[in-house]
């Protein structure tokens, strides 16, 4: 199941639509819930982050921008590890909460936006704001690249240990409230539990 949420900076009343459709990269979608508040849509799906048909895909990277595990390793492998590693080396690293772009190489998206999420250490060291900064900076970089669509993994919820429920709340809230020219922001869940968290956040009024 897929949930979509539209956001606006103009206060247009939302409308909700339900329909069925097919999407090649994520399989059959039985029901779509759409809430539009302008031109931007947030979409939550379960699928493979390396197979998303968007203009830019977000990589959950480390500060050194070297190939790691999880999403980072999968994106390096799918894009072409030699080419992507060379491009990352030219950038020279990335700070926590920041984002930097490289070409997409062998991926469908033209661009990879690398962002470094915080390592969870109890929540008293600014982790929530750092994670929100990741989403904001990715949208800013997407705007610089003229990317109309972007796909995000569940940043920091793997080896970095960020609580998935809080991470989902921060992701949805930040995407709702960040001005951007992006028209589609897709949250790609790697399992049903993460997708359910996104659904709960998207269904909740803010």
pLDDT, tens only, 152-161: 999 999 999 9
Q: Which residue has the higher pLDDT, 21 or 70?
A: 70
Please, are residues 162 and 154 in contact by the beta-carbon 8 Å criterion? Answer: no
Mean of per-residue pLDDT scores for the chain: 85
Domain that holds residue 49: 2-203
pLDDT tens string 102-150 = 999 999 999 999 999 999 999 999 999 999 999 999 999 999 999 999 9
pLDDT beyond 60 at 44: yes
As to burial, measured by CB atoms within 10 angstroms (0-12 exposed, 13-18 middle, 19+ buried), residue 119 is middle
* pLDDT value at residue 21: 34
CATH code, domain carrying 106? 3.40.220.10
pLDDT tens string 53-101 = 999 999 999 999 999 999 999 999 999 999 999 999 999 999 999 999 9
Question: For the chain, what is the domain count?
Answer: 1
Strands 27-35, 16-23: pairing kind: antiparallel
The average pLDDT across 192-205 equals 91
Global pTM?
Answer: 0.85
Q: At what angle do helices 164-177 and 127-144 cross, to 10 degrees?
A: 40
Q: Hey, CA dihedral for 3, 39, 177, 121, is it positive or negative? A: positive
Please, are residues 68 and 23 in contact by the beta-carbon 8 Å criterion? Answer: no
Please, are residues 167 and 154 in contact by the beta-carbon 8 Å criterion? Answer: yes
* Residues acting as catalytic residues: 72
How many whole angstroms separate alpha carbon 146 and alpha carbon 185?
Answer: 14
* pLDDT value at residue 39: 76
Local confidence band at 171 (pLDDT 50, 70, 90 cut-offs): very high
* pLDDT value at residue 113: 99
Local confidence band at 9 (pLDDT 50, 70, 90 cut-offs): very low
As to burial, measured by CB atoms within 10 angstroms (0-12 exposed, 13-18 middle, 19+ buried), residue 27 is exposed
Q: Which residue has the higher pLDDT, 32 or 113?
A: 113
The average pLDDT across 19-46 equals 54
């Amino acid at each position: 199941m897929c949930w979509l949420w539209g956001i606006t900076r103009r206060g247009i009343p939302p409308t909700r639509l339900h329909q069925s459709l097919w999407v090649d990269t994520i399989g059959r979608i039985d029901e779509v819930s759409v809430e539009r508040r302008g031109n931007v849509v947030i979409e939550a799906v379960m699928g493979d982050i390396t197979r998303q048909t968007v203009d830019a895909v977000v990589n959950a990277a480390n500060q050194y921008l070297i190939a790691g595990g999880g999403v980072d390793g999968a994106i390096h492998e799918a894009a072409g590890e030699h080419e992507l590693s060379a491009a990352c080396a030219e950038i020279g690293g990335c700070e926590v909460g920041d984002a930097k772009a490289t070409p997409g190489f062998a991926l469908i998206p033209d661009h990879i936006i690398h962002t470094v999420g915080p390592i969870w250490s109890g929540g008293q060291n600014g982790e929530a704001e750092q994670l929100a900064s990741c989403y904001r900076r990715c949208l800013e970089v997407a705007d610089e690249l003229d990317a109309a669509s972007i796909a995000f993994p569940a940043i920091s919820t793997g080896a970095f240990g960020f609580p998935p429920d809080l991470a989902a709340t921060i992701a949805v809230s930040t995407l709702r409230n960040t001005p951007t020219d992006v028209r589609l922001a897709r949250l790609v869940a790697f399992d049903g539990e993460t997708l359910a968290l996104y659904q709960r956040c998207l269904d909740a009024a803010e």
